[in-house]
Structure 1
Amino acid sequence: MKKLRVVLTFFAAAALVGCGSSNDYTPPADASGERIFSTACSECHKPLKGDVAMILSENMANKDALKNKVKNGSMRMPAFPNIQGDAADRLTDYLLENSEVK
């Protein structure tokens, strides 16, 4: 029973690694949305097929929700507070143009 508790604790901790963390990546001023995605996001969000970057839920398929998620992160996703302004617009435009909504 003790071994099971240790294993479960380990997996719970591993699942929460990104929780509350932040990434200090700052995109170059001229970076395209695709370049920002490739540099900052594709480590965890691998492009799915061809030109589909992500599958977005309906409530995430808008600029404000995406910008908020990028800026603040979420349970497993780190925050990217340095992706803001025009860079955030370019990233969210890229995501909205190259993702499927489910």
Structure 2
Amino acid sequence: MKKLNFGLAISALFILVGCGASRDYTPPADASGEQIFSTACTECHKPLSPNVAMILSEKVANKEALIKKFQSGSMRMPAFKNIQGEAADRLADYILTNSQVK
């Protein structure tokens, strides 16, 4: 039983570490915000409906905060440092347009 609990604890640790890591994804130059979201974000952020990509807190419901969040990551979210410039603007615009604020 102790071996099983130890194995589960190690598995959980690897999953948590993987979520906080950096991702090397670089969007194509002409990728839309929706395409970037679909490729980079939907592994963890499943759209809630066809018209609602995410539910945002008021803290990140602005373009600058969103860009900082996906470029820097957090404990549970990987950093997407290669989403820069116009691609970052398109992704942030897509998220803001297609999300609800709680």
C-alpha distance in structure 1 between counterparts of 2:16 and 2:81, whole Å:
22
Shift of 1:12: 5.0
Alignment match, 2:82: 82
Using the size of structure 2 for normalisation, the TM-score is: 0.87
Moved over 4 A (4+): 1-5
1:66 pairs with 2:61: no
Query: Aligned letter for 2:26?
Result: T
C-alpha distance in structure 1 between counterparts of 2:56 and 2:4, whole Å:
35
C-alpha distance in structure 2 between counterparts of 1:24 and 1:11, whole Å:
23
Root mean square deviation, CA, Å: 1.8
Alignment match, 1:17: 18
C-alpha distance in structure 1 between counterparts of 2:71 and 2:47, whole Å:
21
Q: Deviations over 1:15-45 (max 9, x none)?
A: 34322x1111111111100000001111111
- Structure 2 regions of 5+ residues with no counterpart? none
- Structure 1 regions of 5+ residues with no counterpart? none
C-alpha distance in structure 1 between counterparts of 2:71 and 2:12, whole Å:
24
Using the size of structure 1 for normalisation, the TM-score is: 0.87
SS in structure 1 of the partner of residue 26 of structure 2: coil
Shift of 1:87: 0.3
